[in-house]
Chains A and B, each alone.
Chain A
Amino acid sequence: MARRDAQLGAGLLWASPWIAGFCLFLVAPIAVSAWYSLTDYPLLKPPVYVGLENYRALLNDDRFWLVVRNTALYGAAVIPLGTLLSLALAAALATPGLRGSRLFTALVYVPTLVPMMAGAMIWLWLFNARFGLINVALERVGVAGPNWLEHGAFAIPALVITALWSVGQMVVVYITAINEVPASLYEAARLDGMGAIRRFLHVTLPMISPAVLFSTVTLTIASFQVFVMPYVLFRNERGQRAAGDVYNLYLYDNAFVYQKFGAASAMAWMQLVVVLTLTGLMLLASKRLVHYRGGTP
């Protein structure tokens, strides 16, 4: 213990960039925005305390409920579909002796590196109603493609498709996890007469559940953050199209378009509470569902 205390100064000194940054760029902003969320703050004038007025106004605001609904719908589609797609791809790519699996893995991973803005431009072009590749290809097989970006019903599906395009990171994590499952377990399962699908469900899936949990939490938080894609696909000079409006776009508009920093801070705080609650719930649930090798974690 004496030695630990002797090193206290050195430890603090080496960790000081993080400690300072954590206070300055994380704790202070979060604390300060709790205060702003209780004020009327048009930036150019000092904040004026208004109690819970910002929260009350948001809860009576049509656009607020619209963006909550759209973001929830988007998340409700992306989280299960993204997880299923990446598990299926990982299971396929981890097949032993599969030729070209490295190349395929690289192909799946590359879209995650494409700058969001460039990716948004690509999808803007692919979804174009007249000359976009998707509708031109659909026309060749005799299907009249929808007007993806103008027709309200297709806005969220279009966003979900773009999100599935960048699941590559999850796929890579799952492949690695699958490759670390001991071969002896598969041997035992085969001796028990299990087929490929049952082996995946009863051996692979339980063994890689920590990776699945980690990725699901990350994906959930990420799906709340969707911004650039709907910003590019569904915004023009007249503003954001309702069908493609999401939570953080409204937060952004509140702050940097309408100069309502109080309302924007209230939205930031509600988001923070939801994200932390969901993360906490998932970690709690994991104690029951997730299998950690070697007993309790």
Chain B
Amino acid sequence: MNERPVPPLPRAALWALLFLAAVFFALPLVWMLATSLKPETQAASQSLSLLPDPPSSALRHARDNYAAVWTDPSIPFPLYLRNTLVVAVLAVMGTTLSSAFVAYSLSRVPWRGRSLVFGTVLVSMMIPFPVLMVPLFVLFRRIDDTMLALGLPPEHDWLRFIGTLKPLWVPAWFGGAFNIFLLRQFFMSIPRELDEAARIDGCGHWTIFWRVIVPLSRPALAVVALFHFIYVWNDFLAPMIFLTHRDQFTLALGLQMYQSKAGLTPWNLLMAASTMVTAPVLLLFLLTQRSLVRSVAGAGLKE
């Protein structure tokens, strides 16, 4: 397979293309980082330098900029980080567990109607969120109104949806179409003999799921959890619609508020804030790069 000789003509063209691509894809992120290392006057200037002048001041400016963002009293980033993590942990737990249950049903339990249910999983992957956001908003409002009508006073916050973090993680406990699809494909590759043997030993579905399927599917489950974590961390539209109080905002919303407050945020601080929101995702990616890229590639091809 690797014996194919490289065609002689396009070598130079190949490197030119790759060089341009590297600049196009990497430079925006490099420039974000570079801007966050400069003082305000040097960030908003015609300079093309990656480092401030003098370069040795980069660390000092970085410390000043990041500290200024982190401690800004009008946009409490530490609180937004906490909110984001709360949503992410609850949503990741919910979608991983429930998607695995559903995938088990669709791959291991033979029952009438299961291909129909699998069909609904495939179709629903095509439905865009903006189509659903209006009725979902109304649905959550209705639940809140019903609670009020039943005589539950509004301070029973744990039952309310709008203005709380719940709309962002409760639906995750009902399985995600893409996650179910991914896990089903993976479960199908586990040899049937394993659960047959367990069944002969008298195990039911519950035991087979936890003792056979889950231990063998750790990489796939980790990929689902990772994808969903990144999805929650990056999501903007749903938090913007469902969160009404500033102290419940997530990082993505906080970043937008930080930019739009009076439109006066200096570029070096805005890029420091953007770096802060981006860095955790990229670090997570670096740590898990191999399995992540492989699974993305596989998802488009199987079946």
The interface of chain A, by Cβ under 8 A from chain B, is 3-5, 7-8, 10-15, 17-22, 24-26, 28-30, 32-33, 36, 43, 88-89, 92-93, 95-98, 104-111, 113-119, 121-126, 128, 130-131, 133, 136-137, 139-140, 164-165, 168-169, 172-173, 175-177, 179-180, 183, 186, 195-196, 210-211, 214-215, 221, 224-225, 227-228, 232, 236-237, 248, 251-252, 255-256, 261, 264-265, 268-269, 271-272, 275-276, 279
- Chain B residues with CB below 8 A from A97, complex form: 2, 6
- CB < 8 Å: which of A14, A32, A136, A139 contacts B105? A14
* Interface residue SS majority, chain A: helix
- CB < 8 Å: which of A19, A28, A121 contacts B259? A121
Interface residues of B in 1-37 (CB under 8 A from A): 1-4, 6-7, 9-10, 14, 17-18, 21-22, 24-29, 31-32, 35
- CB < 8 Å: which of A117, A124, A269 contacts B252? A117
6 contacts between A and B (CB under 8 A): A5-B111, A25-B171, A111-B25, A118-B255, A126-B28, A252-B133
Most buried by B among A17, A175, A211, A272: A17
CB-based contact B21/A10 at 8 Å:
no
B56 close to A (CB within 8 Å): no
Q: Tell me the bound Cα distance from A251 to B134 in angstroms.
A: 9
CB-based contact A276/B230 at 8 Å:
no
B131 close to A (CB within 8 Å): yes
**Contacts A105-B293, A121-B270 known; A251 to B135 CB distance under 8 Å?**
no
CB-based contact B120/A22 at 8 Å:
yes
- Chain A residues with CB below 8 A from B121, complex form: 18
CB-based contact A115/B278 at 8 Å:
yes
CB-based contact A118/B274 at 8 Å:
yes
Range for the number of chain B residues in contact with chain A: 35 or more
B245 close to A (CB within 8 Å): no
Q: Tell me the bound Cα distance from A30 to B138 in angstroms.
A: 12
CB-based contact B255/A225 at 8 Å:
no
CB-based contact B111/A7 at 8 Å:
yes
CB-based contact A7/B48 at 8 Å:
no
CB-based contact B135/A28 at 8 Å:
yes
The interface of chain B, by Cβ under 8 A from chain A, is 1-4, 6-7, 9-10, 14, 17-18, 21-22, 24-29, 31-32, 35, 43-48, 98, 101-102, 104-106, 109-114, 117, 120-121, 124, 126-139, 141, 171, 173-175, 180, 205, 230, 233-234, 236-237, 241, 251-253, 255-256, 259, 263, 267, 270-271, 273-275, 277-278, 281-282, 285, 289, 293, 296-301
CB-based contact B135/A33 at 8 Å:
yes
- CB < 8 Å: which of B24, B112, B117 contacts A4? B112
List 7 extra interface pairs beyond A25-B136, A96-B4, CB under 8 A.
A22-B174, A92-B21, A125-B35, A125-B267, A165-B25, A177-B300, A183-B4
- CB < 8 Å: which of B9, B104, B174, B299 contacts A14? B104
CB-based contact B102/A14 at 8 Å:
yes
CB-based contact A96/B1 at 8 Å:
yes
CB-based contact A113/B230 at 8 Å:
yes
- Chain B residues with CB below 8 A from A211, complex form: 300-301
- Chain A residues with CB below 8 A from B109, complex form: 7, 10-11, 14
**Cβ-Cβ contact count across A and B, 8 Å cutoff:** 296
- Chain A residues with CB below 8 A from B301, complex form: 173, 176-177, 180, 210-211, 214
- Chain A residues with CB below 8 A from B275, complex form: 118
Most buried by B among A15, A126, A175, A196: A15
CB-based contact A271/B282 at 8 Å:
no
Q: Tell me the bound Cα distance from A228 to B113 in angstroms.
A: 39
CB-based contact B128/A28 at 8 Å:
no
- CB < 8 Å: which of B26, B48, B255 contacts A137? B48
Taking the closest CB of chain A, its distance from the CB of B33, in whole angstroms, is: 10
- Chain A residues with CB below 8 A from B299, complex form: 173
CB-based contact A113/B282 at 8 Å:
yes
- Chain A residues with CB below 8 A from B14, complex form: 92, 95, 98
Taking the closest CB of chain A, its distance from the CB of B253, in whole angstroms, is: 8
- Chain B residues with CB below 8 A from A20, complex form: 174
Q: Tell me the bound Cα distance from A212 to B92 in angstroms.
A: 30
Q: Tell me the bound Cα distance from A272 to B121 in angstroms.
A: 17
CB-based contact B133/A255 at 8 Å:
yes
Which chain A residue has the least Cβ–Cβ distance from B276?
A118
Q: Tell me the bound Cα distance from A107 to B255 in angstroms.
A: 24
CB-based contact A8/B111 at 8 Å:
yes
Taking the closest CB of chain B, its distance from the CB of A55, in whole angstroms, is: 15
CB-based contact A29/B128 at 8 Å:
no
- Chain A residues with CB below 8 A from B135, complex form: 28-30, 32-33, 36, 265, 268
- Chain B residues with CB below 8 A from A115, complex form: 233-234, 236, 251-252, 255, 277-278, 281
CB-based contact B274/A122 at 8 Å:
yes
Q: Tell me the bound Cα distance from A271 to B281 in angstroms.
A: 32
- Chain B residues with CB below 8 A from A105, complex form: 293
Which chain A residue has the least Cβ–Cβ distance from B265?
A121
